[in-house]
Amino acid sequence: MKRLSNDVLTQRPTLPEKIVQFGEGNFLRGFIDWMIHQMNKQGLFNGSIVAIQPTPHGRILPKLARQDYLYTTVLRGIQENQVIDQAEVVTSISRGINPYSDWQEVLSLAQNKDIQFIFSNTTEAGLAYKEEKYEPETAPPSFPGKLALFLYERFQSAQGDPNSGFYIFPCELVENNGDLLKEIVLKVSQDFGFPEAFRSWIESANHFYNTLVDRIVTGFPKTNGEVEAFYNTFHYEDELLTIGEPYHLFVIDGPITMEELLPFQQVGLNIQWTSVKPFRELKVRILNGLHTMMYAIGLLKGKETVLEVMEDNALRAMIDHCLQQEIFPVLETSDEEKAVFAESVIQRFLNPFNHHQLSDIGLNGLSKFRVRVLPTLLDYIEKYHQVPEILSYSFAASLLYYRVHYYEGDTAYGQWKGKTYPLKENNETLKFLEQAWQNYDDTSEKMEAVVNTILENQTLWEKNLNKVPTLKKKVIHFLSKLLADSSS
Ligand SMILES: NC(=O)c1ccc[n+]([C@@H]2O[C@H](COP(=O)([O-])OP(=O)(O)OC[C@H]3O[C@@H](n4cnc5c(N)ncnc54)[C@H](O)[C@@H]3O)[C@@H](O)[C@H]2O)c1
Ligand SMILES: O=P(O)(O)OC[C@@H](O)[C@@H](O)[C@H](O)[C@H](O)CO
């Protein structure tokens, strides 16, 4: 069978490059690139995207290049009682650049005046400040470093023209992502010794927008036989087949007048040009909160996907209880808004087509717990002076899932009921966890010592959790229960 390429898709539009995108992962392909494709299809944007690989060891860009930057998006789910099952070849990416081998190509792009928009999704780890050296001939390691040099090249080539800046939309799931990216780029520019005039131009000529994105994109199919079934229907192979749900929401804290340049709403996409804050609290605490709360519990109970968790009566009852009794009471949004959003989330989790792997959700699970679950848990304790049962149980489950049993090379491994699995978290966190569990020997004193050490780590939790009344006791209790379960 042929691979997807220009030979397979013979009618492909050639459009001027207008967007630079840092990242080429599942989410950008299933969300932003798909949206640009929708606008192009209706002749309302007429521009293409250049994707820049954000890390040195990218596996996605070579695959995209082999397919002439084409890939298929499959959106499947149930909306308003209707089954939606659509496959479409997305043509919005014109090419990709590996900045580690072609940095000059990236800089040339910065000089192209047609490029007006910058999108990114480099995960939470990518939208972060790193101290790095200015080397004009090579790509800086970090995403903000690359962006700073990209902007500097534009500034110089346009001789500081106040109309030459970019519209910048970071899509990382980080609070105030636009403000944060601007702050980091300014800091990097200072580190690099760039002139004050450039830094003023960053502030005055560029627009950094805070955004919130929402669509469950599970990426390449992982269940047995699924890929082959798709290929047989398409009559081509596609290594970058991207699966997601039909639901999508993109909130951008920018003026509606931006629709003149980016006509998202005009093509019927679910875009809101408004403040992100209320959407963020609902989405992160309910949708991402439930995901993060369930992954370790589910995996430790032998489940593999969100759907399997939702279809298990006991686990489903636990999730409903957590939502109603532990998350809802501490959210400030109105009861009606909470209920409507939560119901839609439950329906999305029950999407029969959605094989969302718990192990994917569990990547960087402790960092996610800190941002997506811990605030709810702490708010609850503050409000009710008692520890919420399910959230603290899920905390214990996450800690146990992330118990480092051994290292092989640079990879840390966890173990549960005889099964071994690789752990992906910040390296320092994993080293710390390995140490914390090192002397554990099944006794309650040692368990208390382990939990004490983990909870007091302020780098992990941003506060000493041993000072939170009775949390430690609950976590010890649930960890002991889970450990007993693991040996039964
Ligand atoms: N998949 C979803 O359903 C979904 C939905 C909404 C938001 N998101 C957000 O999108 C992010 C990416 O998800 P994905 O499904 O596309 O994952 P992915 O693994 O397919 O892509 C991750 C991208 O981030 C880059 N990256 C990883 N670490 C980096 C670092 N330290 N510096 C710079 N770049 C780095 C990778 O090179 C790749 O381009 C997640 O962090 C998530 O918060 C995902
Ligand atoms: O993508 P992650 O790994 O940051 O988080 C896992 C899921 O919670 C997340 O992808 C959601 O499905 C998504 O945020 C929905 O918009």
Q: Which residues does a 6 A CB cutoff place in the pocket of ligand 1? A: 23-27, 54-55, 58, 121-126, 143, 173, 213, 215-217, 219
Percent of the chain scoring above 70 in pLDDT: 100
- In the CATH scheme, what is the code of domain 277-487? 1.10.1040.10
What pairs with residue 249 in β-bridges? Answer: 214
pLDDT value for 488? 65
For residue 110, pLDDT beyond 90: yes
Q: How far is the CA of 288 from the centre of ligand 2 (A)?
A: 6
The protein residue whose alpha carbon is closest to atom 13 in ligand 2 is: 216
Cβ atoms 356, 287 nearer than 8 A: no
Q: Is this complex scored with an ipTM above 0.90?
A: yes
The domain locations on the chain are: 17-273, 277-487
Average pLDDT, stretch 126-131? Answer: 95
The CATH number of domain 17-273, selected from 1.10.3720.10, 3.30.540.10, 3.40.190.10, 3.40.50.720? 3.40.50.720
Q: How many residues does the chain have?
A: 488
CA angle 344, 345, 349 (to 5 degrees): 120
For residue 185, pLDDT beyond 70: yes
CA angle 46, 161, 198 (to 5 degrees): 110
Name the pTM for this structure: 0.95
Q: What would the pLDDT profile of 51-80 be if each residue is shown by its tens digit?
A: 999 999 899 999 999 999 999 999 999 988
Contacts of 192 (CB under 8 A, 6+ apart): 134, 148, 149, 152
Q: How far is the CA of 360 from the centre of ligand 2 (A)?
A: 9
The protein residue whose alpha carbon is closest to atom 8 in ligand 2 is: 288
pLDDT value for 39? 98
Q: What would the pLDDT profile of 89-101 be if each residue is shown by its tens digit?
A: 999 999 999 999 9
Q: What would the pLDDT profile of 219-233 be if each residue is shown by its tens digit?
A: 999 988 999 999 999
Average pLDDT, stretch 92-112? Answer: 98
* SS3 state at 129: coil
> Which residue, among 409, 461, 472, has the nearest Cα to 432 in the 3D structure?
461
Q: What would the pLDDT profile of 238-294 be if each residue is shown by its tens digit?
A: 999 999 999 999 999 999 999 999 999 999 999 999 999 999 999 999 999 999 999
The protein residue whose alpha carbon is closest to atom 10 in ligand 2 is: 216
- Cβ of 214 below 6 Å from ligand 2: yes
